[in-house]
Amino acid sequence: MERKEIHKEEIDNLISMYLTGNIDSQSLKTLTAWSRESAENNLYVRNRIELWFSSGVAGSTTSFDKEKAFERFKARVEKATIAEEQKQRFTKSRSLKIFYRVAAAILIILLPLAGYWGGMETVKNGFSDIVVEAPMGARTKLYLPDGTLVWLNADSKITYSQGFGVENRNLALEGEGYFEVKKNEKVPFEIRTKELDLTVLGTKFNFRNYADDEEVVVNLLEGKVKLKNELIASDDIYMCPNEKAVLSKETGVIVKSKMNASNSNLWTKDELYFDELLLEDIAKQLSRSFNVKIEVADSLRYQRFYGSFKIVGNSIEKILETISSTNRMKYKYENNRYIVY
C-alpha cells in the first residue's frame, strides 16, 4: 500500500495540536513517525516548536521546568494511550510499549529546547543581527528564514534579526538587492533605508539605494508595494507591476513611471542594464562590478545613458568605449583610475 505523503502544513497542525494539548494518540504517532524519518524532518519539528514558544504563544509568564514538562507530557500520552486501548482492546503491555516508544521519540524533540525556555522576552532579547554581504566585483544569492529569495549586487549588504519571521520581517538594505518575497499576509515584509522604506506581502522587485548614489530606484516586477518617503512628509506611494519609482536624494521628490521591470534584475544574470540612469551612478555600478576606480567630471554628472552590457567576457575598457561612442563623453586611464570627462 502506497504511503500517504504528509505535507508540512499538516505537520504544523499536528505540532499545534500537541502544544495545545489537543492531540490524539494516532496524530501523535504520525507526528513522531514523521519526525524520525530524517534528520531534516526532526530539525523542522524542533524549529517549529522553538518558534511556537519564542513567538509568545506560550504566554510571557511561562518558564521551562523540564520535570514538570515531562510529567505533563506523560499524562497527555497516557490519556491518549488509554483511549486508544479501550477503542482497540489492546493489552496493557502493548499500551506501555506504545507509550514508551512515543515518549522517547518526543523527548528527542523536546529536550534540546530546554535552553530556549526562560520566558518570551528572554528569547526575543537574545536575538542577534545577521549580516550578509556581497563584496566588490561579486554577487550573492541567499534565502531568508521565511523562504524569500534575495540576490545582493556587488558592494551591498542586508541586516536582519535572528528572529526574522517570528513577529516581523524587517531588514535593512545598503546597496542593491533583488527580492522574490514569500507571501505572508499576517507578517508584512519591510525594507528600511535612510531615505525610503518599502512594505510588501508577497512580490518580486528590485531595490537600489547605495549610500553614494544620487537616487533611490525601485522597480516592481510582480505584486504590489508601498513606499514611504523618509526625506520629506508625503503620502505613501503604491506601485503596480512594470512601474519604476525614483527618489531624488537632493529634493526628496519621488517620480513614478512605466517601464519593462524584467530588465531591472538582469544583473543577477551577470548583465548590466542602464535605463536612462545618471552617468554618475553608472560609473559607480561599473566600479562595483569590475572593482575599479572611476571618476566623473562634474559637467557630466547629470547626463543619463541607456544601455545593456554583459559582465562575463567583457572588460571595463570595452564598456567605457561603447558609452563614449555616443560622443557624449570621453575617458582616460591615469593614476590607477579611469576618468570620464
Query: With bands split at pLDDT 50, 70 and 90, how would you rate the model's confidence at 293?
Result: very high
Asked, for residue 48, whether it belongs to a domain, the answer is yes
Report the 3 state secondary structure along the chain. CCCCCCCHHHHHHHHHHHHCCCCCHHHHHHHHHHHCCCHHHHHHHHHHHHHHHHCCCCCCCCCCCHHHHHHHHHHHHHHHHHHHHHHHCCCHHHHHHHHHHHHHHHHHHHHHHHHHCCCHHHHHHCCCEEEEEECCCCCEEEECCCCCEEEECCCEEEEEECCCCCCCEEEEEEEEEEEECCCCCCCCEEEECCCEEEEECCCEEEEEECCCCCEEEEEEEECCEEEEECCCCCCCEEECCCEEEEEECCCCCEEEEECCHHHHHHHHHCEEEEEEEEHHHHHHHHHHHHCCCEEECHHHCCCEEEEEEECCCCCHHHHHHHHHCCCCCCEEEECCEEEEC
Does residue 118 share a domain with residue 17? yes
What is the predicted pLDDT for the residue at 165? Answer: 87
pLDDT in tens, 328-340: 889 999 989 999 9
Task: Using the predicted structure, report yes or no on whether residue 55 has a pLDDT greater than 50.
Answer: no
What is the predicted pLDDT for the residue at 75? Answer: 53
Does residue 253 share a domain with residue 136? yes
Asked, for residue 287, whether it belongs to a domain, the answer is yes
Does residue 177 share a domain with residue 113? no
Asked, for residue 239, whether it belongs to a domain, the answer is yes
Domain that holds residue 92: 8-124
Task: Using the predicted structure, report yes or no on whether residue 103 has a pLDDT greater than 60.
Answer: no
Top pLDDT among 175 and 125 is at 175
Answer for the pair 178, 156: CB distance below 8 angstroms, yes or no.
no
Identify the CATH number of the domain in which residue 301 sits.
3.55.50.30
Residue 138 to residues 30, 207, 241, 305, Cα–Cα distance (Å): 46, 17, 28, 23
pLDDT in tens, 239-266: 999 999 999 999 999 999 998 898 899 9
Q: Are strands 196-200 and 225-229 parallel, antiparallel or unpaired?
A: antiparallel
| Max avg pLDDT among 3-7, 153-157, 268-272 | 153-157
Does residue 333 share a domain with residue 243? no
Does residue 183 share a domain with residue 305? no
Q: Which of 103, 124, 145 is the last residue of a domain?
A: 124
Task: Identify residue 330 by its one-letter amino acid code.
Answer: K
pLDDT in tens, 209-229: 999 999 999 999 999 999 999
Asked, for residue 3, whether it belongs to a domain, the answer is no
Does residue 238 share a domain with residue 212? yes
Task: Using the predicted structure, report yes or no on whether residue 102 has a pLDDT greater than 70.
Answer: no
Does residue 108 share a domain with residue 208? no
Answer for the pair 32, 105: CB distance below 8 angstroms, yes or no.
yes
Does residue 287 share a domain with residue 242? no
Distance in angstroms (rounded) separating the CA atoms of residues 18 and 74: 12
Distance in angstroms (rounded) separating the CA atoms of residues 35 and 24: 17
Answer for the pair 328, 304: CB distance below 8 angstroms, yes or no.
no
Asked, for residue 15, whether it belongs to a domain, the answer is yes
pLDDT in tens, 128-174: 789 999 999 889 999 999 999 999 999 999 999 988 988 899 999 99
What is the predicted pLDDT for the residue at 15? Answer: 80
What is the predicted pLDDT for the residue at 276? Answer: 81
Does residue 286 share a domain with residue 169? no
Q: Which of 107, 124, 141 is the last residue of a domain?
A: 124
Top pLDDT among 53 and 30 is at 30
Does residue 70 share a domain with residue 159? no
Neighbour count for residue 260 (Cβ, 10 Å): 12
What is the predicted pLDDT for the residue at 82? Answer: 52
Distance in angstroms (rounded) separating the CA atoms of residues 319 and 282: 11
Mean pLDDT, all residues of the chain:
79
What is the predicted pLDDT for the residue at 141? Answer: 93
Task: Using the predicted structure, report yes or no on whether residue 117 has a pLDDT greater than 50.
Answer: no
pLDDT in tens, 9-29: 888 888 877 766 677 778 888
Top pLDDT among 339 and 92 is at 339
Number of structural domains the chain divides into: 3
Q: Are strands 237-239 and 225-229 parallel, antiparallel or unpaired?
A: antiparallel
Query: With bands split at pLDDT 50, 70 and 90, how would you rate the model's confidence at 41?
Result: confident
Percent of the residues in the chain that have a pLDDT greater than 90, as a whole number: 41
Identify the CATH number of the domain in which residue 230 sits.
2.60.120.1440
What is the predicted pLDDT for the residue at 174? Answer: 96
Task: Using the predicted structure, report yes or no on whether residue 81 has a pLDDT greater than 60.
Answer: no
Does residue 109 share a domain with residue 92? yes
What is the predicted pLDDT for the residue at 242? Answer: 96
Asked, for residue 334, whether it belongs to a domain, the answer is yes
Does residue 82 share a domain with residue 202? no
What is the predicted pLDDT for the residue at 2? Answer: 45
Asked, for residue 55, whether it belongs to a domain, the answer is yes
Q: Which of 261, 290, 321 is the last residue of a domain?
A: 261
Answer for the pair 78, 85: CB distance below 8 angstroms, yes or no.
no
Top pLDDT among 325 and 159 is at 159
In this structure, the dihedral spanned by the alpha carbons of residues 143, 31, 19 and 120, taken in order and rounded to 10 degrees, is -30
Asked, for residue 131, whether it belongs to a domain, the answer is yes
pLDDT in tens, 184-203: 988 999 999 999 999 998 89
Query: With bands split at pLDDT 50, 70 and 90, how would you rate the model's confidence at 86?
Result: low
